[in-house]
Amino acid sequence: MSALGGMEQALTPFADPAWLLETHSYDPLRESSRASRFSVSNGFLGVRGMRAVSRGEQQVIPARTYVAGLFDTPGRGQSVPVLIPAPDWLRVRLLLAGGPLVHHPSDLAAYRMTLDKRRGMLLTDARLVAPDLAISLRSLRLVSRAEPALGLQLLRLGIEAGSTAIALEASFEGMHFGLVAEHVDRDIGIWRTRHSAKRVAIAASARLWIDGREIAPAEHGPMHWRWTWSCHPEQIVEFERIVAVVRSDTPERHPGEAAQHTLSAARHRGWRGVVARHQDAWAERWQRSDVEVDGDAPAQQALRFALYHLNGAANPADPQVSIGARALTGDDYHGHVFWDTEIYLLPFYTMTWPEAARALLMYRYRTLDAAREKATRMGWRGALYAWESTDTGAEATPDQVVGPDRRVVDVLCGHQEQHISADIAYAVWQYWEASGDEAFLRDAGAEILCETARFWVSRAQLEPDGRRHIRGVIGPDEYHETIDDNAFTNVMARRNIRRALDAIALLRARWPGHAAALATRIGLDEAELQLWPEAAETIATGRQADSGLFEQFEGYFALEDIDLSLYAGRTVPMDVVLGRERTQNSQVVKQADVVALLGLLPDEFPGAAAAANYRYYAKRCSHGSSLSAAMHGLAAARLGETAAAMEYFHHTAAIDLADTHVAIDGGVHIAGLGGMWLMTVFGFAGLALRDDGLALAPRLPATWQGLAFAVEWRGRRLRIRITRESRAIEATLLCGAPMMLHVDGTAHALNAEMALGVPVAGLV
């Protein structure tokens, strides 16, 4: 069948520019950052936004395709598992008699790369000019949101001038990079990791049409095709490549057949079918998660960029994996999973894509044994999750890294940054509250809550002052190590224990059989359980009774107080400016710590305590992590400090979007992107979970005339619109049973029959 008809349309970006991100030039300085920014991903496959047809013999920047979960410990000096890039399936060269038509990306006469966020694909538009030849080229690249195993590449060449012999060569690249080729045939390749016994199979099909007529390749070798023909003006050449990728985690399972089967089903539907299903899946994601901002186009752009990457980062079908700190968009942090996922990403998934949230939490359930082992190895009970986690859940934090001052430094986080267990418990409970997913709580969530609670009860030791202390930890502020009673850790641990007790009570009341089975499975008896309430209530928190100010950790207030405003405009992190030792002896904070507690548990900060803590810590924070500004923005927005919140919003947006800002060669900062959603929905709209529904307390930034977003709650789907001009909230229950919506403290009944309009006096 001809490829003509439809391809031009598929190659045309969505009409509304608010959904597009474009770049027009080639800039070697920024190329790698752009490759991160323009990545396409579906949570299983991730492809960096490298050019497909702009390469000569040499790669200017290596291509990268990632397969989630493809971890291996390569050996030789490498002590922790890393995500191994898969062979890149997108290489295309145009060859003339004298060699490649394009030797270097800057050879392109005109070039435009467009991230079509609406349709979840990368499009390019270019002109290739050689002596006596001019070709227009358009391309499309996607990894399917509907069928995560599938990747699609389309190219359309229009010969504008010149008649000559030409060849199009399609091949794979990096076939021997980090993986061992087990079997590479014409249309299928199977590779394995060196040590972890994983396999990845890629089945591929490539076809070419000239003026609507398919022609056979002149050469077809292993994962390599070459077509040759004589081109002439007005000729249209169309190329299609479909790949199906399957990962297998067990040596006895061979993924080749599954890949071939998936590919042949996709070929049967054809590229139009692949594109159509992908677009439908993205349309559904946007319907369930879009955020609209009226009156502030840059904020709208930044949010859509964040949502694009968030919706691309998760795969609800695979509970074997979670989301790494750079998702599947770059090599930094090697695909390792941090607290970023539970604290900065999960709220978005929980509230707009519970299926994805569940899969991410099931990954933590699956790695619970590794967390139990870590706790046991360190002399405690229960489950202590890995600070950096890969496929097995074993601790994957390296012992040393190169610090921001280019010196090798020891990393203690794998031993000391233990708040991760409480962070995971936090996300479990938030998911349960928002989704009401009983099967999850019964079969997985309660066990995570109990084992993490059990860890804290053994970890927080009772001392002669009658309080339990958690000594020798690192809090979110990683500038201070081996500290005692980090407020964030201790208060989150207390909450962890309390919620575990709630979960047990709930199970006993509603599903006593499950409660008994859980107790037996984890050996939790009454005597042990009796200790928990006392343990929770006696954990030291560092809260000053008079001011409500939390001391970040014991002795923090006595450290050198440095005025950070004197260092405004610096271009390096504060620990480089001051040196490690002075930083450690100062009150300079790397990132939101007590402020993160304020962001996560606002009820712990009654009355004036919220503002007092925010003011104290905001000016001591140096934002040495991309996670930091978003938490400050959330806290500031809730306090009604919308101008400050907007600064944090722009700061976070700039990390991945501003070419003048931090280089993002190593991938997008997905936690910061999750933080943008948090700032907007939990911050500016003031969303909170209640037992009988949801609550809103909007505080819109001055430039925002309106804010609309979608959220889900216990099987219901809602659309909320906040409008400054009418000073009102309009809430529509799109599906599901009636529920309550609390606005600025007053409860309103919301049902599917009629949209609810609520005036908001405070919106000015």
Catalytic residues: 478
- Min separation Cβ 39 and ligand BGC, Å: 17
- Min separation Cβ 623 and ligand BGC, Å: 11
What is the number of other CB atoms lying within 10 angstroms of the CB of residue 478?
19
Give the nearer residue to ligand BGC in terms of CB position, either 338 or 553: 338
- Min separation Cβ 562 and ligand BGC, Å: 19
Burial class (CB in 10 A: 0-12, 13-18, 19+), 190: buried
- What is the rounded CA–CA span in Å between residue 717 and residue 711? 6
- Min separation Cβ 327 and ligand BGC, Å: 11
Under the binding rule (CB under 6 A), the answer on residue 21 touching ligand BGC is no
Give the nearer residue to ligand BGC in terms of CB position, either 478 or 485: 478
Give the nearer residue to ligand BGC in terms of CB position, either 256 or 633: 633
Give the nearer residue to ligand BGC in terms of CB position, either 342 or 551: 342
Write out the two tokens for 201: 């199979």
- Min separation Cβ 593 and ligand BGC, Å: 10
- What is the rounded CA–CA span in Å between residue 743 and residue 687? 9
**What is the DSSP track for 483-518?**
BS--HHHHHHHHHHHHHHHHHHHHHHHH-HHHHHHH
What is the number of other CB atoms lying within 10 angstroms of the CB of residue 40?
25
Which residue among 63, 152, 202, 325 contacts ligand BGC (CB under 6 A)?
325
The single residue listed with the structure tokens 């040196």 is: 579
- What is the rounded CA–CA span in Å between residue 468 and residue 474? 17
Give the nearer residue to ligand BGC in terms of CB position, either 239 or 333: 333
- What is the rounded CA–CA span in Å between residue 55 and residue 106? 10
What is the number of other CB atoms lying within 10 angstroms of the CB of residue 213?
10
**What is the DSSP track for 248-259?**
E-STT---HHHH
Give rounded-to-5 percent helix, strand, coil for the chain: 35, 25, 35
User: Please, are residues 80 and 398 in contact by the beta-carbon 8 Å criterion?
Assistant: yes
Pairing of strands 739-743, 746-750: antiparallel
Under the binding rule (CB under 6 A), the answer on residue 591 touching ligand BGC is yes
Task: Give the range of 39-47, 50-58, 331-339, 568-576 binding ligand BGC by CB under 6 A.
Answer: 331-339
Under the binding rule (CB under 6 A), the answer on residue 170 touching ligand BGC is no
3-class SS letters over 100-145: ECCCCHHHCCEEEEEEECCCCEEEEEEEEEECCEEEEEEEEEEECC
3-class SS letters over 53-79: CCCCCCCCCCCCEEECCCEECCCCCCC
Give the nearer residue to ligand BGC in terms of CB position, either 401 or 505: 401
Task: Give the range of 98-106, 333-341, 550-558, 615-623 binding ligand BGC by CB under 6 A.
Answer: 333-341
- What is the rounded CA–CA span in Å between residue 632 and residue 636? 6
Give the nearer residue to ligand BGC in terms of CB position, either 668 or 758: 668
Give the nearer residue to ligand BGC in terms of CB position, either 88 or 388: 388
Give the nearer residue to ligand BGC in terms of CB position, either 243 or 314: 314
- Min separation Cβ 338 and ligand BGC, Å: 4
- Min separation Cβ 43 and ligand BGC, Å: 18
- Min separation Cβ 628 and ligand BGC, Å: 8
Under the binding rule (CB under 6 A), the answer on residue 586 touching ligand BGC is no
- Min separation Cβ 33 and ligand BGC, Å: 17
Give the nearer residue to ligand BGC in terms of CB position, either 613 or 625: 625
Site string for ligand BGC, 274-313 (x = CB under 6 A): ----------------------------------------
Write out the two tokens for 326: 């750079």
Give the nearer residue to ligand BGC in terms of CB position, either 148 or 476: 476
Task: Give the range of 25-33, 41-49, 64-72, 335-343 binding ligand BGC by CB under 6 A.
Answer: 335-343
Which residue among 19, 271, 338, 553 contacts ligand BGC (CB under 6 A)?
338
Amino acid identity, position 526? E
Helix, strand or coil, per DSSP, at residue 595: helix
Site string for ligand BGC, 623-662 (x = CB under 6 A): --x-x-----------------------------------
User: What are the beta bridge partners of residue 20?
Assistant: 116
User: Please, are residues 482 and 412 in contact by the beta-carbon 8 Å criterion?
Assistant: yes
Counting residues that bind ligand BGC (by CB under 6 A) gives: 11
Cα 573 from chain centre: 24
- What is the rounded CA–CA span in Å between residue 390 and residue 370? 11
- Min separation Cβ 340 and ligand BGC, Å: 5
Write out the two tokens for 274: 């692949």
Write out the two tokens for 315: 């795969």
- Min separation Cβ 46 and ligand BGC, Å: 17
Which residue among 116, 238, 296, 340 contacts ligand BGC (CB under 6 A)?
340
- Interface residues for ligand BGC in 463-522 (CB under 6 A)? 476, 478
- Min separation Cβ 413 and ligand BGC, Å: 8
Under the binding rule (CB under 6 A), the answer on residue 19 touching ligand BGC is no
- Min separation Cβ 420 and ligand BGC, Å: 9
Which residues have C-beta within 8 Å of that of residue 434, sequence separation ≥ 6? 350, 351, 354, 689, 712, 713, 714
- What is the rounded CA–CA span in Å between residue 734 and residue 753? 9
- What is the rounded CA–CA span in Å between residue 305 and residue 458? 43
Write out the two tokens for 178: 């980090």
Give the nearer residue to ligand BGC in terms of CB position, either 152 or 325: 325
- What is the rounded CA–CA span in Å between residue 203 and residue 638? 50
Give the nearer residue to ligand BGC in terms of CB position, either 238 or 340: 340
Amino acid identity, position 755? A
Closest residue to ligand BGC using C-beta atoms: 338
Under the binding rule (CB under 6 A), the answer on residue 671 touching ligand BGC is yes
Q: Which of 360, 490, 326, 469 is nearest to 418 (CA)?
A: 490
567 DSSP assignment: G
- What is the rounded CA–CA span in Å between residue 737 and residue 739? 6
The b-or-e profile of 564-577 (16+ CB within 10 A means b, else e) is: beeeeeeeebbbbb
User: Please, are residues 723 and 758 in contact by the beta-carbon 8 Å criterion?
Assistant: no
Task: Give the range of 251-259, 337-345, 539-547, 735-743 binding ligand BGC by CB under 6 A.
Answer: 337-345
Which residue among 239, 271, 339, 385 contacts ligand BGC (CB under 6 A)?
339
Task: Give the range of 38-46, 234-242, 338-346, 732-740 binding ligand BGC by CB under 6 A.
Answer: 338-346
User: What are the beta bridge partners of residue 716?
Assistant: 713
**Which residues of this protein are in contact with ligand BGC, per CB under 6 A?**
325, 333, 338-340, 476, 478, 591, 625, 627, 671
